[in-house]
Structure formats: C-alpha cells, structure tokens
Amino acid sequence: MSELLAVEGIAKSFKLKGHWYHKKEFSALAPLSFSVESNKTLAIVGETGSGKSTLAKILVGAESPSSGKIFLNGQQLHKQQLKQRCQHIRMIFQDSGTTLNPSLTVLQLLDEPLKLNTNLNESQRRQLIRQTLQKVGLLGDHMNFYPHMFSGGQKQRISLARAIILQPQVIILDEALAALDPSLRSQMINLLLDLQQQMGLAYILISHNLGIVRHFSDQVMVMCQGEVVERGDTLEVMQNPTHKVTKKLMMSQNFQLKHHKHKCM
C-alpha cells in the first residue's frame, strides 16, 4: 500500500530571548521522519514537553517547521498552499467546549469550511451538513442548535463532523478522547473506528492513555524531548519495550494492567 502522508526530517526550534551576542535556541523537535498509510492509525505518546503537540501543529499547518518536508500522496505540501492542506488534514482538539464558537449555530459552524473550500451552492451545502451530522450520530435538525445546548459528548461529535465534512484523508486527534466520560469515550472510539473503515481515514492519535493506544492504533511512536526514542507496531512495542522512557511510561500504567489481568484469570 502506498504511503498517504510522509514526513521527512521535520524540525522545529524556537528562538529564546537572550543577549544579542549570545542568542539561544531551543529545539522543540529534532529532525524526525515517519509515514502513515490510509486506513491506519499512528499513535504518538510521550510526556509533556516531548514535542507531540508541536508536531501536530506543524502537520496541520498552524506552525511552520524550521526545516523538513511534508508529502501528501507523494506531493510536497508547501507553506503557501494552506488551502490544499486544510482540506486533507484536519484536527480535533482536546476540549470541544472551547473550540466551538458559542455565538454561531452548528449550521454556521459547519458552513464555514465549506464556503471557504468548496464551490457548492447553499442547498448542496445544507444537504452535505445534514448527511455529515447523521454520519456522526446526530440528527439533521440539530443544525439549528447552538453549541451550549449539547452535552460534552455531543460537542465532541460536532467537532468530529467539522473535521470530516471536507472528506479529509488524515485526521489528527490531539488528546481528543481524554476529557470525555468513560461511557461516551467508548462510543466515540467506536464511531472513529467505523468512520475509518467507511472513509479510509488515517488517524494520528496523540494520547497518554496506553489502553486506548493499544486498542486504537497500528503503529506507535514514543517521543521524549523532541526526539523519537522508540517506534514500531503497537503490540510489539508494548510487549517488549526497549527504551527506558517507554518502560517508564508502561510502568506508570502497566502495573495496573497486569493487576487486572491477574484478577481476570
């Protein structure tokens, strides 16, 4: 299968305030390369400050990398072509409550990306919004509601609808499942997996819940201080972790896993 998204030598460094003759640089992301195929999920795990959110922002185009190239379907994505990028790579944020504009209805929220990126007329847009809302498990009539009228899980579904309405190929989930209640979280995981099968989406999942990472992802990348310290198939990495950062992460959650396993037997 061909690579959908390929990243080559992406790096990011920030200039720190310093005296003019010894300027300091802080490297948030060491040069790293990886690729994702369609229908697959790449998970990125790591502690705070390991550069995983910076990587997500670079991929989606909110920040520009200091060096490196991003290829989508073999074509290089340039800084200037934001329009192309925001059609194909979409992002869902952690807190859906604060990322939806409270003064717009759901219709207006979902209309905005369509107006900016497609040539559909009004009735076609409305049709598409209705279909998308049904796809994420809401009703078409919900389009006239304001975000505050929905519960937390439904808000997360609206942000998912906003992400898939342009038929993207890659969706980045930046801790999108962390703030949800357990019963809604499993609904959301099921929905995401269904959509992956239907639309052939590739997900990049940023999470620190290893249980979800194990269930959800095919490949995993462990990051520490801007560098990738371990990568591979999720199950292999979890069964025999080699780097000490991975082991530490596993330890902090894994002895709980073993505990359950022991009990189940």
Within 167-196, the residues that bind another protein by CB under 8 A are 181-187, 189-190, 193
Query: Do residues 118 and 166 make contact, with C-beta atoms less than 8 angstroms apart?
Result: yes
Q: How far is the CB of 247 from another protein (least distance, A)?
A: 12
Residue 249 interacting with another protein (CB under 8 A):
yes
Q: Which stretch binds another protein (CB under 8 A): 70-78, 116-124, 207-215, 221-229?
A: 207-215
The distance of closest approach from Cβ of residue 240 to another protein in the complex, given in angstroms and rounded to an integer, is 16
Of 18-26, 117-125, 127-135, 248-256, which segment contacts another protein by CB under 8 A?
Answer: 248-256
Closest approach, Cβ 58 to another protein, in A, equals 22
Size of the site for another protein (CB under 8 A): 41
Structure tokens at 263: 């009990």
**121 lies in the binding site for another protein (CB under 8 A):** no
Draw the binding track, 13-52, toward another protein (x: CB under 8 A; -: no contact). Answer: ----------------------------------xx----
User: What is the 3-state secondary structure of the chain?
Assistant: CCEEEEEEEEEEEEEECCCCCCCEEEEEEEEEEEEEECCCEEEEEECCCCCHHHHHHHHHCCCCCCEEEEEECCEECCCCCHHHHHHHEEEECCCHHHHCCCCCCHHHHHHHHHHHHCCCCHHHHHHHHHHHHHHCCCCHHHHHCCHHHCCHHHHHHHHHHHHHCCCCCEEEEECCCCCCCHHHHHHHHHHHHHHHHHHCCEEEEECCCHHHHHHHCCEEEEEECCEEEEEEEHHHHHHCCCCHHHHHHHHHHHHHHHHHHHHHC
**Least Å from the CB of residue 188 to another protein:** 9
Minimum CB distance to another protein, residue 230 (Å): 16
Least Å distance, CB 218 to another protein, is 8
Q: Closer CB to another protein, residue 76 or residue 256?
A: 256
- Residues forming contacts to another protein in the complex (CB under 8 A) are 47-48, 151-154, 181-187, 189-190, 193, 208-212, 214-218, 234-235, 248-249, 251-253, 255-257, 259-261, 263-264
